[in-house]
Amino acid sequence: MFNRLILFLGILLSVISVKAQNQFLDPTFGTNGVLTYTPNNNNRFAYETGVITSQQKIIVSGTYYSIPNNNQSTTNVIQRLNTDGTIDNSFNTIFIPPSSSSPFSRLIRMGIQSDQKILLGDLLGNKLIRLNENGSYDTGFGNNGMVDGDILDSFVSSLGMTGPFNFNNVLLTNTNKILICTIIIENQVTKLGVLRLNENGSIDMGFGNNGIILMESDLGRLVVQNDSKLVLIGQKFNGTFMKSRYSEDGVLDTTYNNNPISYTPLPNYATYLCTATGKDNNTYIYGFSSAAGIPTMLITLMKLNQNGELDNSFGINGVVNEVYYNNNTSYYVDTNVLYPTLLLDNASNLFLVCTASPTGNAADTNQFIKKFKPDGSVDHSFGNNGVVDVDLNSKEYMASAIMTPDQKIMVFGNYQNPLKGFITKVLNNTNSLSVNERIGKNESVSIYPNPVKNILTINSKQTKDMEVEIIDAIGRSILKTVIKDNKLNVNELQKGIYYLKMGNTTHKFIKE
């Protein structure tokens, strides 16, 4: 059986509250930008995470405790929502009861394949589940749709190691293989490990060294670059930030600076890694910085370029140290490293989403979002002086967040008194115009045919030798290329909705 980090059981939920900035929520979603849900009138439900399908539906995962006041027994709920947040009744909501081997399970890791199959990973590494688009179990994956954690534990044990203890990341490759980032113990040394599963759920022994790659680190995250290379970002307990890059098949990339990050915290402060993400082969890192005797915690952001060096165009020498709330030194920030999320929009603006309180009261916290421009400076035009606090006059809490195809921020979590799940959709002023509105302001640019089967034609005098990017419905960059003779071959794309980004304009098209 898996070894379990008891720590995770002690840091399940945080508390929260303040006044909601409703003007920053998307009124087309839920009720004034907020969706609240409690399955079967259960009052201990929390939304964990979500993904958006090619048809703009929202697959969401939630959890509620099956036995009152027993945090060891949970039921998972998987449902599909329409774009406006209403429940899609054509999808059978799935209730996964607790099992005797893993009564506590939170399916907080989620991905969606190009064929719209849904991948769900348990936070503690108990199981991976794959569902078909209609919500049925994919019997071609693992054992009737599930890869049990014991299978992964057995594989690691066969290499003379122990673990894994949890799923830091569960990511999909462009070929629908599955990357699992977890913690491994080798010779009593804690390491960040990555395994790759084939599409059927079996261990891919052609990956890395005997099916695994390892980097000495006590915690961390995996980032997949646009070119499919893998970047591991970690931190040792002594504070050292680690990094290494590998080929798609797990071979160490010696062209990358695989040395520790040359970062020194501010005097008297220590910085703690929370999460990492990537775009355009750059890697972005978030941690919180705190100091004994100093109440003001800081946001610390780093940007690594594609060579593994701190990017001097970002912040000061590649690092940003910024307060959470401007003109306020008495705030509180949830220091649980499991849940903060970094998001990037199409314009490379960076969003930190976490749980915080401007009042300094740990029992009075909000869903917190702060926006940074591509150079690392705060975008003060976003929300209230760069910050959006989602406060529903209760104890709001965030578990994860995603960037939607229309470039808004969707946050999943719960509020308390009583504990109920809710999802918010926050406006992003940088991309406030819809695709159609942007095209309307630039009528000289058009694309056809739409829907398209093979060749997409771009009608513009400015598209010759212009760089373009194709982004899928869940915000992943699929292709970057240069337009030749105003023609773009999209024959290799899967059927679905895509966005063609050209300069400052974005055009939606459907691949048949």
- The pLDDT tens digits of the residues spanning 451-482 come to 898 888 888 766 457 788 888 765 667 888 88
Of 434, 427, 431, the C-alpha closest to 507 is 434
Q: What burial letters (b/e) apply to 360-372, b meaning 16+ CB within 10 Å?
A: beeebbbbbbbbb
Strands 487-489 and 350-357 turn out to be: unpaired
The answer to whether the CB of 391 falls within 8 A of the CB of 38 is no
3-class secondary structure, 414: strand
Give one word for 366, left, alpha or beta, with left for phi > 0 and alpha for psi -120 to 50. beta
Strands of the sheet containing 178-186, edge to edge, are 169-172, 178-186, 189-197, 212-216
Strands 241-246 and 270-279 turn out to be: unpaired
The answer to whether the CB of 490 falls within 8 A of the CB of 472 is no
Number of residues that make up the chain: 512
Mean pLDDT, the chain, as a whole number? 87
**Cβ-based neighbour number of residue 124 at 10 Å:** 21
**pLDDT value for 7:** 27
Give start and end residues of each alpha helix (H) in 348-410.
Answer: none
Handedness of CA 246, 251, 252, 254 (dihedral sign): negative
* Paired tokens of 432: 């406030």
Q: pLDDT tens digits, residue range 315-348? A: 999 999 999 998 888 899 999 999 999 999 999 9
DSSP class of 484 = B
pLDDT one digit per residue (tens) for the chain, 512 residues: 333 332 222 222 222 223 445 689 999 999 999 999 888 766 688 999 999 999 999 999 999 886 655 666 889 999 999 999 999 999 989 999 888 777 788 999 999 998 999 999 999 898 999 999 999 999 999 999 999 988 899 999 999 999 877 899 999 998 899 999 999 999 999 999 999 999 999 999 999 999 999 999 999 999 999 999 999 999 999 999 999 999 999 999 999 999 999 999 999 999 999 999 999 999 999 999 999 888 899 999 999 999 999 999 999 999 999 999 988 888 999 999 999 999 999 999 999 999 999 999 888 899 999 999 999 999 999 999 999 999 888 889 999 999 999 899 999 999 876 678 999 999 997 543 333 333 333 445 778 888 898 888 888 766 457 788 888 765 667 888 888 778 888 888 887 778 888 876 788 888 88
**Alpha-carbon 505 to chain mean position:** 25
Q: H or E segment at 150?
A: helix 149-158
What's the one-letter identity of residue 163? Answer: G
Dist CA 411 CA 417 (whole Å): 19
Of 35, 158, 136, the C-alpha closest to 91 is 136
> The domain 435-511 is classified under which CATH number: 2.70.98.60, 1.10.150.120, 3.80.10.10, 2.60.40.3080?
2.60.40.3080
**pLDDT value for 248:** 96
Dist CA 77 CA 137 (whole Å): 14
The answer to whether the CB of 403 falls within 8 A of the CB of 416 is no
Residue 95, CA distances (Å) to 61, 105, 120, 195 in order: 10, 12, 13, 28
Residues 6+ apart with CB under 8 A from 106: 48, 63, 74, 76, 122, 123, 124
Of 465, 379, 477, the C-alpha closest to 430 is 379
Residue spans per domain, the chain: 435-511
Dist CA 218 CA 320 (whole Å): 23
- Whole-prediction pTM: 0.82
